[in-house]
Each structure stands twice: as C-alpha cells, then as structure tokens.
C-alpha cells in the first residue's frame, strides 16, 4: 500500500485521524508535525515526496486564528494559500491525490438556505479569504484533489468550543453566548472518518465537497446542549453578535448542504447532537 502523508498532524484533525486510523487498523499513514513537514519549506517538502512517493497527501495544516489573521494577513496567506500551492505542485508532479481541508468562512453567510458547493463565495474575513485562495490555487497544479469544506470543528483533542465551554461551565455561574450565528458543529472524528473512507475506497470522484454534521444550531443552543450533557448548572444567556464584537466578521448563516458528499463519497453523516453525545461520553470516560 502506498503511503499517505498527513501534514499538520499535531493539530486537532491530525490527532483525530490518528485515533480513527488506529480504530480501523488503517496502515500506510505518515503523521508529520510542523517541524517534520512544514508546508512552507519547499525543499523539505520535495525531499518528503521523493522519499515516500505518496498516494495521498492530507493537509491539516492551516492558519486558523480568525481574529489574529486580520492583523497577520501575510502570514495567514503564506500558510493558507502559498503552503497549499506548494503541496498541490508536488501532488501534480507525483500523481498524488491532495485532500485539502477548507471552511464555511469562504461564504458571507447572508442567506438562509443550506449552502451548495456551487454557491458563490464571498469571504468577509482575512481567514476566509486566504482559505478560499488556498482552494483556488490547487486546480492550476493538479486535477486529483478533494477539497472538504467543514465548520465548527470540535473533538476530545486540542482546543475547541466544546472543551472551552466545559471549562467555563465549571468555573462560572453564567455565560453569555451568541444566538444569531447559525451553522453546524462538526465532530472532527466524523470528518477524519470521511477522509479515511476516501482513501480506503480509493474514491476517484475528485472535486469540492461540503462536510459537516447534519442539522443546524446556534452557538447558544450548542452551548446549552454541552452544559446539559455535561451535567453543568451553568446559566446561559443568549446575546446578539453586536453585543460581542470581534476583530473578524463571522458568517451569520453557514449551514452547508451535504447531498453531494453523501452521494459521491459514500459516507453516512451523523446528526450533530448524536456526535456531540459521543464526544461528551468519551471526554467523561477520559477524566
């Protein structure tokens, strides 16, 4: 079996890929931390590709500090666009399939219908813009790629909304959480499963896909569900986005339609509430 290189393996999704691969017994995966596989180091990348001649390259490396990106535009662009182009060029040279992770932030979020892959993009933040630029540079170098846009990622690993809410819920009697931003939480374990299914089935339906869990919710309702499942008595107060100003603007509605992913990738997508319950059970068991 030819090798799969995983870049950004020390982050949340990389750790979830390692977890799911171990559960499934998936072999041939090479997990690369930033130090081992820096997507901005063109010489280092070339050496890795020459050594492994990978069948797949999964890019979990990204600049994801949404608010900070407004001040660090060039750094965000280097990682989210130039780093992706470096990988895409080598993937084209070696016939490697590139699996790139993107985001719902490529949309403005002004509508109220689930977003299709064919809908017009209009990023309203530096983070969203640079992630879109990362999508756009791929096709110039290879046509063997999967771009998976996802949203609101959480898991047992790294820092994320679920773990932050649990921490705050134990420390505070009351939390104010935004209720007018609507989207879909995505359990990164489920996304990792989708990625490994693409590899294991050697799927050739290349292109752009939306992948998040099913259903929709607001950050407020997401937080309430976390507290209920966690048995925390935290009082949750719903506030508008305008009451919690941030440097970067977020999409108000970024629910994505997953019809294409279910049909062409052959994956069953759980509802966000079911996946949250699974994650909470695993977090509780680890304590």
Mean pLDDT calculated for residue range 35-49: 98
CA distance 43 to 211: 32
What whole-number distance in Å separates Cα of residue 66 and Cα of residue 141? 27
**127 part of the active site:** yes
Category of 95 on φ-ψ map: left (φ > 0), alpha (ψ -120 to 50) or beta: left
Q: pLDDT (tens digit, 9 = 90+) per residue, 155-209?
A: 999 999 999 999 999 999 999 999 999 999 999 999 999 999 999 999 999 999 9
Where does residue 183 rank: exposed (0-12), middle (13-18), buried (19+ CB within 10 A)? buried
pTM, rounded to two decimals: 0.97
User: Is residue 207 one of the residues assigned to a domain?
Assistant: yes
Measure the CA–CA gap between 178 and 240, rounded to whole angstroms. Answer: 5
Assess if residue 148 is contained within a domain.
yes
Q: DSSP for 203-219, please give it.
A: ----EEEE---BS-EEH
Write the CATH number for 131: 3.40.50.720
Residue 231, domain member (yes or no): no
The number of distinct structural domains making up the chain is: 1
The torsion region of residue 154 among left (phi > 0), alpha (psi -120 to 50) and beta comes to beta
Domain holding 109, by residue range, is 4-159+186-214+254-269
Whether 33 is in a domain gets the answer yes
* Domain contains 280: no
Residues in the chain: 287
Per residue in 122-158, pLDDT (tens digit) is 999 999 999 999 999 999 999 999 999 999 999 999 9
Which of 56, 63, 94, 127 is catalytic? The answer is 127
The conformational region for residue 266 under phi > 0 = left, psi -120 to 50 = alpha, else beta, is left
Answer yes or no: is 274 within a domain.
Answer: no
What's the pLDDT at 1?
A: 59
């Amino acid at each position: 079996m030819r090798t799969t290189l995983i870049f950004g393996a020390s982050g949340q999704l990389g750790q979830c890929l390692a977890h799911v691969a171990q559960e499934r017994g998936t072999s041939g995966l090479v997990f690369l931390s930033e130090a081992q596989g820096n997507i901005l180091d063109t010489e280092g990348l070339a050496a890795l590709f020459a050594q492994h001649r990978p069948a797949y390259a999964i890019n979990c490396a990204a600049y994801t500090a949404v608010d900070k990106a407004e001040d660090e535009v060039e750094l965000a662009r280097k990682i989210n666009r130039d780093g992706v182009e470096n990988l895409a060029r080598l993937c084209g040279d070696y016939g490697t399939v590139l699996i790139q992770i993107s985001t719902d932030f490529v949309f403005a979020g002004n509508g109220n219908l689930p977003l299709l892959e064919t809908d017009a993009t209009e990023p309203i933040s530096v983070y969203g813009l640079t992630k879109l630029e990362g999508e756009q540079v791929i096709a110039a170098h290879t046509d063997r790629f999967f771009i998976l846009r996802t949203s609101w990622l959480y898991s047992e690993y790294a820092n994320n909304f679920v773990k932050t809410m649990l921490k705050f819920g134990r420390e505070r009697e009351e939390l104010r959480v935004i209720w007018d931003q609507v989207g879909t939480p995505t359990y990164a374990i489920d996304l990792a499963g989708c990625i490994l299914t693409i590899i294991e089935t050697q799927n050739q339906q290349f292109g752009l896909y939306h992948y998040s869990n099913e259903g929709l919710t607001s950050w407020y309702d997401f937080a309430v569900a976390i507290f209920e499942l966690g048995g925390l008595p935290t009082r949750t107060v719903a506030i508008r986005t305008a009451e919690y100003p941030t440097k970067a603007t977020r999409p108000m509605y970024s629910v994505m339609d997953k019809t294409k992913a279910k049909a062409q990738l052959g994956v069953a997508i759980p509802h966000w509430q079911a996946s949250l319950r699974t994650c909470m059970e695993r977090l509780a068991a680890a304590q």
